[in-house]
A and B are shown apart, each in its own frame.
Chain A
Amino acid sequence: MKYLDSEKIRKEFPFIVKNKESKLIYFDNAATTHKPQAVLSSIANYYTYTNSNTHRSSHVQGVSSTEKYEQARQTIADFIGANTAEIIFTSGATDSINLVANSYVQNIINQGDGILTTEIEHHSNFLPWQKICKTKGGELKMISFDENFKIRVSEDQLIKERIKFIAIHHVSNVTACIQDVKKIIKLAKKLDIPILIDGSQAASHLKINVKDLDCDFYCFSGHKLFGPTGTGILYAKDEKIRKFLPNKLGGGMVSHASVKNSVWERAPLLLEAGTPNICGSIALADAVKYILKLGLDNIYKHENMLAACTIDVLKRIPNITLYRCSESSIPIFSFNINGIHHYDIASLLAENKISVRSGHLCCQPLMQKLNINGCLRASLSIYNTVDEIEQFGKSLLKIVKFLT
C-alpha cells in the first residue's frame, strides 16, 4: 500500500526537518512546494564550482556553465517528451503564458476572432487573453463545465465562435480536476486551432508527454515542482516557436546587430534575451531529477492515498461544501463551511500551526460562478502524511465548533 517512504522523503526536505519540533503542518503546496536538499545543494554547488555567464565565453567556467544550462534544458525536454529546442526557460508559468500571448497570440488575433478559455483558469491564464481581446477587438469565450468541473468543448462552439486560440488548464488549482486535455487538443488540431495547456498544477503530480498530448504550448512554474522561485518552462512546438516574434530584446538573442538593422538568433535563444536565470534553471532540472527518482507513478498513487484519507476526514465536518472533482484529481481540497467565513477558519488554522490558503485563489471568475467570495484550500504534496491529515481534521472540527 505504500508507494513512497514518507519518513525518508521528509528527511530530504530541510524545511520539514527544521519544523519537525514545532509540528507545523504545511498544506499550501498548490501555492508553492518546499525544496529537497538536492535542489539546495544544486544551487550552492553552482555558485561554488561553476558560476559564470553562459553562451558567450571561451573560458573554462563559461563553457561549463553553458553546458550545465543546456543539459538542464535537455533534462526538462526529456521530462515532458519534448525536443530540446522546444524548451524555453522563463521566470514562471505567468511569464510563460505572457510570452505566448505577446510573442504569438497577439499577432494572430484580429477583429471578431475568438479566444476560448474557461472560468476555472488561474488569473495568469485568463487576464492575458482578456487583454488581447480588448486590444485587438477579439472576443473572450468560455467553455462550459459540468458539476464535476470537467470542461466540454464541441466542434460546433469552436466554429460558431470563430475560435482562433484556446488556453485551458490541465489541472485546476481550485477544483483539482484533471481535464481530459488530450480530447480537447484533438478537436483543436482538427480545426487547426493552436492550443495552450497550463500545466502549473499538473507537472508535480502527473506524467506529461507533450508529443502524446500534441498541444502547441505547455507551461509550468519551477517553484511548484520542488524547484527554485524565478524559474519556469514554456514548451512550444517547433512549428509554432518559429513564428514567435521576441517580446524581450537584448544580449544573446541576435547574431548580428548594427545601428541600421539586427539579425535574430534562432529559438529558443531568441526568446531568452539577457543573462538567464542560469543557476535557477539548473536547480530546476535537479528538482526534476528528484521527481524522476521517486517516480511519477509512485507519486500519483501515494497522493491518491493521501487524497482518500483527506476526503474521509473532511466528510466528518458538518456543513462542508467541497468544490472538487470527484473523478480523477490531485490532492487539492477547496471548500467552505456554511455560515463561517473562510478567512476566520484559515486564521485559526494558522494559530494551530496548520497552513492553508484562503481567498479567491487567483480564480475570481470561478468564485463568481460559484457565487462565493472565496474559500479555503488545503493542498498536499509528497511529504505530507496521514497523521497530518488527521490532525488537520481534528483542528478543523474544533475551530468550526468554536466559530458556531
Chain B
Amino acid sequence: MTAQVYGTAREALGDIADGAIVMIGGFGPAGQPVELVEALLEQGAADLVVVSNNAGNGEDALARLIQLGRVRKIVCSFPRQVDSWHFDAAYRAGSIELELVPQGNLAERIRAGGAGIGAFFTPTGYGTPLAEGKETRVLDGVPMVLETAIRADVALVKAYRADGAGNLVYRRTARNFGPVMATAATRTVVQVSEVLPVGAIDPETVVTPGIYVDSVVRLDSTTTLAGARPAAGRATS
C-alpha cells in the first residue's frame, strides 16, 4: 500500500511487537537510522531479533537496547568494534545470541528474503567455521554452502530523499544495506532529510521504488553536510 509520511520518528515507527525481527540499516556511521532506533528504544518492544551489520556503538540506541536486555538475538557481520562494550558484555554474559554472517552473505540473504528466493548456494564461507553444519555442494567446480533467506517484520532505513510515492534515493556510501532491507520486511520505515512531491525524483534514478516503503519521516538531523552534492538530479552534461 502507498507510503505514509509522518511528522515524528516515533509516529513513523508505529507499533513493534515483542519478539519482532527488526532490520536496521547502516554500515558504521553511514546510513544509520539513528532517530528511528531511538524511537524503538522509547517504544519499548523487547525480545527482539535484530538484523544489522554492526551491534551498536558507545551509548547509541542499539547499544542501549542490547544493554537493557531487549535484544534476544542479533544477526550480524561485524559486532565487535572498539566501542561496542554493551554488546561485548551481553555476549560474554551469554545473554544475547549471535548469528555471525559474512557481510556479503548477510546482504544476499536479505535480498533473497525480499525477492522470494528461499535459499541459495554461495562460495563464501565454505570450509570455514561459519559454514559448519550447513549443506554444501560443488557447482560448476566451485564448492558452495547453502544459505537461507532472511525476512523481517520491520526494516528501519535511512535514505536521503523520498517523494510522496515513497520512492527513495540514497547518498554515497550511506546507501549500503537500506535498499535490500527495504525489500525484505513486512513494514519498512524510512527517515530522510527531504520529502519531495510525487514525480520530483527522476524515474530512472529511483533506487528503492515506493512499493517497498510504508512509512516516511523527514528529520532535520538526517540532513547531510551543507553544500554536499545532491544524490540525484545533477545535470550529467
Question: Are A and B co-members of a single complex?
Answer: no
